[in-house]
Amino acid sequence: MHTRQLSASGSKAASSHSAHGGYPGYSAYSQSVAYGTKPGFGPSPGFGPDPGFGPNPGFAGPITYIYQPIAPTNTVAIIAMVLSLAGTMTSFVPAGLAGIVMGHIARRQIRQRGERGDAMALTALWVGYLGAGFWLIFWGLYIGVMVLAIMAGVAAEEASY
């Protein structure tokens, strides 16, 4: 990788850059005489010479790609997501509560360690809270309706005597 340092004055001679930016000897407004005009196109009337096609002397060589290692995904976030989904889909509320606790732990670990999986941990929290809340309300209403039905049956039986 080649780098160039520009001078503070910004003059062409000091920086060895063209007047229009770019690399030395290359300008977006180069002379069409040096490189020829584009095939099928003449000089542009009133707009100066046609830049045409030419070599790009600013090319420094082959491009080298440097891959950085990908940070690992937090395992606790994965487990939290699985437990939250299992708790929501099976009405096993303790699994949802465990998913909520592990989601909070995973988010703290992700911030400290720089790992991936923050969205997964946040989703585990949302699914865990909503699922546990839904199932607690459902089972509370279900048990409440059953208790009322039993009380109504007992009251109807006592009234028949």
pLDDT at 19: 53
pLDDT at 14: 47
Residue 61's Cα: distance from chain center in Å?
A: 32
pLDDT at 123: 97
Residue 140 pLDDT > 60, yes or no? Answer: yes
Range in 43-57, 85-99, 146-160 the model is least confident about: 43-57
Residue 46's pLDDT band (boundaries 50, 70, 90)?
Answer: low
Domain ranges of the chain: 13-66, 75-159
CA 96-98-100 angle, to 5 degrees, is 70
- Tell which residue, 131, 133, 43, has the closest CA to residue 81: 131
Which ranges of the chain does DSSP label H, i.e. alpha helix?
12-15, 32-35, 75-90, 93-113, 118-159
Residue 137 pLDDT > 80, yes or no? Answer: yes
pLDDT at 65: 84
Non-local (6+) Cβ contacts of 161 within 8 A are: none
Backbone angles phi, psi at 73, to 5 degrees: -80, 135
Residue 50 pLDDT > 70, yes or no? Answer: no
Range in 21-30, 106-115, 136-145 the model is least confident about: 21-30
Given a contact cutoff of 8 angstroms between Cβ atoms, the answer to whether 26 and 53 are in contact is no
pTM of the model: 0.54
Kindly report the average pLDDT of the chain as a whole number. Answer: 79
- In angstroms, rounded to a whole number, what is the distance separating the alpha carbons of residues 135 and 6? 66
